[in-house]
């Protein structure tokens, strides 16, 4: 009997979410929630290293952690329209501290001058990872795979123009995964773009904001068809939280606080939680 309980305890420990730690988000407008109320959501719950009063996706992460009973300390260093090379060149002094987990989110096309080319992105990610690991060799550094931009898909002049809406996110995912495989210090990627694609494929979210939002579906993009809506950032935060902590985000449920604060219904919150969980399960 003692062996049985010991075995069960061991299984519980294996399945348990990661212990509470320090986490830093490095990114741009896709991290701080531009174009939606997420940008100024609960800024007092996180530490903005640039002192700009931003809450953003990091504040959603913190909110989920509180509700899940995990006491994470959450910080962010963000700048609009910037790539990872900018943060390494200009924000090293702020970033150069001890962290347990660091989330790196690059430019929406990886490289503003050469869309889709991961070279500059990968070099900067490696340099930032080395900076982090110099302080804590055991730190976990992850790259965020971002979503397809509707403005670069449905309008002319882009390498993704005229392609299926999911293509850009798939390309960004492949590029980030290539960087993670070949760059020392990158633990892996977080499939946010894949979660958006899944929400569209399953009819939870609308595929084309330029022709209006279909009844009963969520719009994931902001009015500029580029940044995220509250629902889009909520899905991003759920995916990051689930990947980093190991927590089953479906347990947050219909009464999840942040969803209500952002104007999402309990039904919508549950649908997005399910999408994030299924995406992470498939990604494993």
Q: Which two three-digit tokens encode residue 100?
A: 């347990």
- Taking CA atoms, 173 is separated from 11, 110, 140, 283, in Å, by 32, 11, 19, 11
Q: Which pLDDT does position 284 carry in this prediction?
A: 78
Higher pLDDT, 278 or 14: 278
Is 159 in contact with 116 (CB distance < 8 Å)? Answer: yes
What is the rounded distance in angstroms from the CA atom of residue 249 to the CA atom of residue 256?
10
Report the C-alpha gap between 104 and 176 in whole angstroms: 11
Mark out the alpha helices in the chain (DSSP H runs): 2-15, 29-32, 56-68, 84-90, 92-95, 119-135, 150-153, 166-182, 192-201, 230-245, 257-261, 266-283
Q: pLDDT tens across 89-101, in order?
A: 999 999 999 999 9
Domains and CATH numbers, the chain: 22-283 (3.40.50.1110)
**What is the pLDDT, as a whole number, of residue 13?**
34
Tokens representing 166 are 């999911």
Check if the beta carbon of residue 76 is closer than 8 Å to that of residue 58. yes
Mean pLDDT of 129-142: 98
- How many Å apart are CA 68 and CA 29, to the nearest integer? 26
Instruction: Give residue 7's pLDDT.
Output: 44
Cβ atoms of residues 101 and 129 within 8 Å:
no
The CA distance from 54 to 187, in Å, is: 27
pLDDT category at 19 given cuts 50, 70, 90 is low
In whole angstroms, give the CA distance from residue 175 to residue 180: 9
- In Å, how far are 6, 45, 104, 176, 179 from 117, measured between CA atoms? 50, 36, 17, 10, 11
**Tens digits of per-residue pLDDT, 54-82?**
999 999 999 999 999 999 999 999 999 99
pLDDT digits (tens, 9 = 90+) for 161-194: 999 999 999 999 999 999 999 999 999 999 999 9
pLDDT in tens, 236-246: 999 999 999 99
Which residues, 6 or more positions from 6, have their beta carbon under 8 angstroms from its beta carbon?
none
Mean pLDDT of 151-157: 98
Angle formed at CA 167 by CA 200 and CA 101, multiple of 5 degrees: 80
Ramachandran sector of residue 145 (left: φ over 0; alpha: ψ -120 to 50; beta: rest): beta
Q: Both tokens of residue 112? A: 């503003």
Determine the length of the chain: 284
Q: Output the average pLDDT for the chain.
A: 94
Contacts 24+ apart (CB under 8 A), 256-260: 256/64, 256/67, 257/63, 257/67, 258/41, 258/60, 258/63, 258/64, 258/234, 259/234
Q: Decide: helix, strand or coil at residue 184.
A: coil
Share of the chain above pLDDT 70, in %: 93
Handedness of CA 278, 143, 101, 221 (dihedral sign): negative
- Please determine, for residue 51, whether its predicted confidence score (pLDDT) is greater than 60: yes
Q: Cβ(210)–Cβ(154) under 8 Å?
A: yes
């Amino acid at each position: 009997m003692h062996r049985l309980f010991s075995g069960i305890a061991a299984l519980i420990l294996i399945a348990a979410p990661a212990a509470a730690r320090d986490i830093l988000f490095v990114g741009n407008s896709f991290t701080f929630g531009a174009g939606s109320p997420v940008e100024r959501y609960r800024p007092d719950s996180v530490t903005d290293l640039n002192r700009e009063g931003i809450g953003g996706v990091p504040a959603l992460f913190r909110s989920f952690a509180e509700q899940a009973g995990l006491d994470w300390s959450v910080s962010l260093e963000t700048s609009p329209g910037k790539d990872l090379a900018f943060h390494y060149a200009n924000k090293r002094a702020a970033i150069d501290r001890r962290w347990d987990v660091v989330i790196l989110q690059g430019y929406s096309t990886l490289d503003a001058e050469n869309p889709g080319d991961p070279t500059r992105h990968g070099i900067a990610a490696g340099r930032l990872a080395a900076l982090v690991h110099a302080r804590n060799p055991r730190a976990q550094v992850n790259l965020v795979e971002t979503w397809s931009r509707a403005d670069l898909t449905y309008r002319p002049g882009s390498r993704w123009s005229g392609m299926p809406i999911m293509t850009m996110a798939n390309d960004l995912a492949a590029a980030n995964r290539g960087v993670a495989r070949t760059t020392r210090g990158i633990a892996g990627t977080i499939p946010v773009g894949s979660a958006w694609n899944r929400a569209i494929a399953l009819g939870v979210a609308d595929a084309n904001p330029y022709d209006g939002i279909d009844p009963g579906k969520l719009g994931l993009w902001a009015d500029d068809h580029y940044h995220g809506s509250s629902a889009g950032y909520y899905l991003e935060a759920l995916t990051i939280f689930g990947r980093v902590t190991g927590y089953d985000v479906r347990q947050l449920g219909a009464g999840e606080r942040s969803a209500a604060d952002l104007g999402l219904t309990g039904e919508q919150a549950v649908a997005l939680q399910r999408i994030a969980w299924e995406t992470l399960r498939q990604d494993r």
